[in-house]
Amino acid sequence: MQTMGDLLSWLRSFAPVSQTVSRRERFFSCAGAIVGLLLAEWICRQALGEATPWFIAPMGASAVLLFAVPSSPLAQPWAIVGGNVMAALVGVTCAKLVTHPGLAAALAVGIAIGVMFQFKCLHPPGGAVALMSVLGGPGVMQFGYRFALWPVAIDSLVLVTAAILFNVAMGRRYPHRAHPHVLASDPKHVVQPAEPIASPQLGVTLDDLNEVLRVRGELIDVSNDDLEEIFMAAELRAYRRWLGQIGCSDLVVGDEAEDVPSGGGRGRDPVADRKEMAEAQGADQG
């Protein structure tokens, strides 16, 4: 029975994963790809003329990352430009040194992944660029290493420029950077307890996340800063749900609390709760 349950659980992993992407973001993703590719095509055609191959197919895959998941580390400017150019250089080299096309294509993609990891510019469409550099036919082979500059580098730069213009115009953060840590920097958003808590710090920190990721040793397609931001927001939401609405009287201890109007603490004492939690933690550590 357990084997059957494991098999069913494994089969369920093939089902589509639920998404929390808003309709607004979905629309921006579709519109951005259309506008970005049209703008990149127009710029390249105006600069180089009709007879020049101004686009390569992997740019379509890059557009998906640029406009559908602009917060991904794989969609940042250096990942796109650096990843595509590095992959093209590796692909051309493999095509020149290895006569068997199948072996050359496999080596190109595998080595390109290693090079992109090394230079911190991992970009999935780079695998398609490496493959195209080997199997693109005489039109690609006649370019040689110039293929990495044109059309790969130019296409990538123009597409990134279009993505920056579109995403900024639509109010999206690109190049992506984490939100400022408001809870840590803005005193208005920090609840200071009336008495110090025994524990130096409760909750998940960026160091905790970095250590867990280091132990896992695998690539997670979200930046560490974004992970910390998500955890902080989730902790704050859970904190509010646990303590209820905190008023001024909840943060004052002693007789002074009688002079402060109640803020609707729902009959709970958050300071006492925090002290009990810290004492329980200290007892467990002891």
| Per-residue pLDDT reduced to its tens digit, 136-164 | 888 788 889 999 998 899 899 999 999 99
- On whether both 107 and 232 belong to a single domain, the answer is no
Q: Is residue 250 located within the same domain as residue 127?
A: no
Q: pLDDT (tens digit, 9 = 90+) per residue, 157-184?
A: 999 999 999 999 988 889 987 555 444 4
Q: How confident is residue 194, by pLDDT bands cut at 50, 70 and 90?
A: very low
Residue 141 structural domain: 21-169
In a domain, 6, yes or no: no
Contact status, residue 123 vs residue 113, Cβ threshold 8 Å: no
92 located within any domain? yes
Judge whether 52 and 74 are in contact, CB under 8 Å.
no
Among 54-63, 141-150, 267-276, the least confident range: 267-276
Instruction: Tell me whether residue 11 is in a domain.
Output: no
> What's the pLDDT at 269?
53
Residues 239, 108 share a domain: no
**Residue 150 shares a structural domain with residue 201:** no
Each residue's pLDDT tens digit, 87-133: 999 999 999 999 999 999 999 999 999 999 999 999 999 999 999 99
Buried/exposed code over 273-285 (b: 16+ C-beta within 10 A; e: otherwise): ebbeebeeeeeee
Question: Contact 251/271 with Cβ under 8 angstroms?
Answer: yes
33 and 164 within one domain:
yes
Domain boundary among 118, 144, 169: 169
Domain co-membership, 83 together with 159:
yes
* Gap between the Cα atoms of 41 and 179, Å rounded: 33
Q: Please give the tally of structural domains in the chain.
A: 2
The neighbour count for residue 105, using CB atoms within 10 Å, is: 20
- Is residue 2 in some structural domain? no
* 47 and 129 assigned to the same domain: yes
Residue 43 has a pLDDT of 77
Q: Model's pTM, two decimal places?
A: 0.70
Tell me: do 48 and 151 sit in the same domain: yes
Assess if residue 49 is contained within a domain: yes
